[in-house]
Structure 1
Amino acid sequence: MAHPRKSTDPRPLRAELHGLGLHLCPWDPASDADARTWLRGTTDPELLRWNTPVRPVTDLAGAREALRARARRAADGTALALRVADADSGTVLGHIDVNEIRPVTGTGRVGYWVLPEARGRGVATRALLLAARWAFTDLGLHRLELDHAVGHEASCRVAGRGGFLHEGTLRGAVFAAGRLDAFRDAHLHARLATDPEPAPPRPSA
């Protein structure tokens, strides 16, 4: 059975994950291509329909700073943001992160998004399976959570296919679309290290 890392032994986080037709590796804050992709992904209207950022990214400078912030969190061992790419072509498809890592309780949270042209191909589910496997084995976490705004059926399906059981509704837990002064409910999903790993979906073109 996996065991959480000791709280007295924080370490920088880095991972390069291969499998299920994907290659996951950390975003590079110094890369113009990564900054452009981050900007495009985080300003996508469908993403913003369901996610309201506290600090919206509106230009390349903001995208670079967002990636630098994620690199800092990886350095202090609290979160790891990974670029999701096609294993064969190297084309970037989306993003996944394991964040709010708490070694004492062995818990963390997961978030993900997929670029518009890569949707409907099981990318998020496959990335979630890889990231969860890493979190449970390499980090020794006991529980991973994710939540999404109620009504976001695509994210709900990803959670289910990734083995994250629906545990209930969090009332007023996330910002309403485009607002920081109003709230909406979210569905909470979670997976334990002891839960069976679901069969992965087949990569599709």
Structure 2
Amino acid sequence: MARTREPSPSPAVPEPHGHGLRLRAWDPESDADAEAWLRGVRDPDFLRWNTLFRQVTDIDGARESLRARALDAADGRSVSFRITDADSGTTLGHIGVNRIDLALRQACVGYWVLPEARGRGVATRSLLLAARWAFGALGTHRLELDHALGHEASCRIAERCGFRYEGTMRGVLLQPGRHDAFRDAHLHARLATDPEPEVP
């Protein structure tokens, strides 16, 4: 009988911290983590700009999504961080270093912030932390960030964090709520040799 592979906890999960934040591993078995993940990926603003390949509609789906991310981390494909307040430990959002290619020393970063944490620079500060970790501990040379055309807030965050605009990619992202139509995206990138921006 086939056995489902379970992610094994790793004592070496990094916890980058600074700028009033700590980036922690998500725990699929934590009710609080699963609930925060569900709220994040069901938020209307998230769904306006992102389309998941597999929709998450309940707590069980949230746990399954987090377990899949833990497996990706175990296999070295990505690392998913729960953005938390450094003092209280309150979950503020998510940031992931994805599509890790150790041979080419490249990766892609993506993030979202819970509604109650917006307007406080959480995305900017967590992106600076994740980039520092990717360039340092992971040894990445190039870190990409893409966002749907028209998402001006993401454009500003990218530029603020030193991710230069490199062009528009045609038909690279799924349209909201659809798997049969596509939209364009801006591509931003930062190199390890670029200067690190000052904390805003």
User: Same fold, TM exceeding 0.5?
Assistant: yes
How many residue pairs end up in the alignment? 191
Equivalent residue letter for 1:159: A
Question: Can you list the C-alpha shifts for 1:94-130, whole angstroms capped at 9, x where unaligned?
Answer: 0000011001100000000000111111101100000
Partner of 1:123: 122
Identity among equivalent positions (%) equals: 68
Question: Can you list the C-alpha shifts for 1:129-174, whole angstroms capped at 9, x where unaligned?
Answer: 0000001010111000010000001111111111100000000110
Partner of 1:8: none
Pair 34,126 (structure 1): closer, same or farther in 2 beyond 3 Å = same
Equivalent residue letter for 2:179: L
Equivalent residue letter for 1:191: R
Counterparts of 2:11 and 2:167, CA distance in 1: 33
Counterparts of 1:57 and 1:160, CA distance in 2: 31
Counterparts of 1:87 and 1:179, CA distance in 2: 37
Pair 12,148 (structure 1): closer, same or farther in 2 beyond 3 Å = farther
For residue 71 of structure 1, report the CA deviation from its aligned partner: 0.6
Q: Kindly indicate whether structure 1 or structure 2 has the higher relative contact order, using CA contacts under 8 Å at least 6 residues apart.
A: 1
* 1:78 has 2:94 as partner: no
Counterparts of 2:159 and 2:62, CA distance in 1: 30
What is the Cα-based RMSD across aligned positions, in Å? 1.3
Partner of 2:162: 163
Equivalent residue letter for 1:80: V
Partner of 1:135: 134
Pair 177,12 (structure 1): closer, same or farther in 2 beyond 3 Å = farther
Equivalent residue letter for 1:172: G
Counterparts of 1:166 and 1:12, CA distance in 2: 37
For residue 14 of structure 1, report the CA deviation from its aligned partner: 2.1
For residue 13 of structure 1, report the CA deviation from its aligned partner: 6.8
Instruction: Give unmatched runs, 5+ long, in structure 2.
Output: 1-9
Counterparts of 1:113 and 1:142, CA distance in 2: 24
Counterparts of 1:22 and 1:12, CA distance in 2: 20
Alignment TM-score, normalising by the size of structure 2:
0.93
Moved runs in structure 1, 4+ residues, more than 3 A?
none
Contact 1:12 1:76 in 2 (8 A): no
Contact 1:13 1:79 in 2 (8 A): no
SS at match of 2:40: helix
Partner of 2:7: none
Instruction: Give unmatched runs, 5+ long, in structure 1.
Output: 1-10
Counterparts of 2:158 and 2:11, CA distance in 1: 27
Counterparts of 1:66 and 1:111, CA distance in 2: 16
SS at match of 2:98: strand
